[in-house]
Structure 1
Amino acid sequence: MTGASGGVGTYLIQLLKMVGAHVEALASPPNFDFLKKLGVDDLVDYSADVTTQLANLPHANKVIDTVGRLYLLEAIIAATRHFDLLSLSTTTFPEHTQDQTFRFANGSIGLNGYKRLLNWLSDGTL
């Protein structure tokens, strides 16, 4: 996940952990402790060599982009050949292979989705 320590990213981490996902997050080192407390399994310093760091981690098959920085997406492509990318930030994506899919999402979650999120916030789940 890109943008893991931002507002959207911090909630996404918690939601992903609720469904048992293994979460790898790109962030800056000052945010690593905070992200570990949220449940992130593996951290990548986006200011260093992202491709090499990702190559040493378990293979990610889903990527969530909340930042829209093409240089980060290109580094992910170089390290992780087969994946599905969901971007909340960019409508364009560098050339990709048949083993990679790209989707842009910027829509409503609906009334029931908001109710569920509000319940999780009020009961401390999030």
Structure 2
Amino acid sequence: MFDHVKFGVSDFAASKAFFLKALEPLGVAVVAEGAPSYGVELSPPTGGVSLCLFQTDEKPAHLHLAFRANNRQQVDEFHRAALEAGGKDHGAPGLRPQYHANYYAAFVIGPDGHNIEVVCNEPEA
């Protein structure tokens, strides 16, 4: 859970397109945008949390972002959408019992090498 996360990316257009497509199953959309150096704010329809990206020449350090899904279907849809958007598989959708019995997650590596996860902590419906 987070309020917002803001980080720099090396290719603003590619990263914006990747996150919009990959997080579409979660209802994420653009809520504010400025010049690439200012960036874009992405948020689910309920608001409350946001992901902000901006163009930078600095090399960002490793980052792991985990987004909460409402159900396992959203995890599956995220994984499919993220791969279609150019992400690299880093863990297919499935249970991760080493975390807890209902930890259902999928992982991809985004355009800048960040580990992007979507997780559902609820039992299967």
TM-score, normalised on structure 2? 0.28
Of Structure 1 and Structure 2, which has the larger fraction of its residues in helix? 1
Greater CA radius of gyration, 1 or 2?
A: 1
| Structure showing greater relative contact order (alpha-carbon pairs closer than 8 Å, 6 or more residues apart) | 2
TM-score, normalised on structure 1? 0.28
